[in-house]
């Protein structure tokens, strides 16, 4: 994984946690900060050296889920 790809995954993870904390539903595409990571990609397109859209989305979802599971009721 390149440095850029790793940075994108780390950022998506941070954003997923923040989304849960801020009350955003578990819908990655509603997170405007997350969609900025994708830039002007076309469907199925991954720029050289970057993480795939699927990997970024999975990182966001995993972080959101982890934050949800860690919440005390």
Domain chopping of the chain, boundaries = 3-70
Position 1 scores a pLDDT of 83
DSSP secondary structure string for all residues of the chain: --HHHHHHHHHHHHHHHHHHHTT--S-GGG-HHHHHHHTTPPTT---TTSPPHHHHHHHHHHHHHHHHHH---
Tens digits of pLDDT across the chain (73 residues): 889 999 999 999 999 999 999 999 999 999 999 999 988 888 889 999 999 999 999 999 999 999 999 987 7
* 8 Å CB contact between 1 and 46: no
Question: pTM of the prediction?
Answer: 0.93
Q: How many CA atoms lie within 13 A of 29 on its CB side?
A: 2
pLDDT value of position 39: 84
């Amino acid at each position: 994984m390149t440095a850029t790809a790793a940075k994108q995954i780390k950022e998506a993870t941070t954003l997923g946690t923040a989304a849960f904390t801020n009350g955003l539903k578990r819908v990655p595409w509603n997170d405007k900060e997350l969609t900025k990571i994708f830039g002007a990609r076309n469907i199925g397109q991954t720029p050289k050296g970057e993480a795939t859209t699927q990997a970024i989305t999975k990182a966001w979802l995993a972080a959101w889920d982890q934050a949800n599971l860690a919440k005390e009721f």
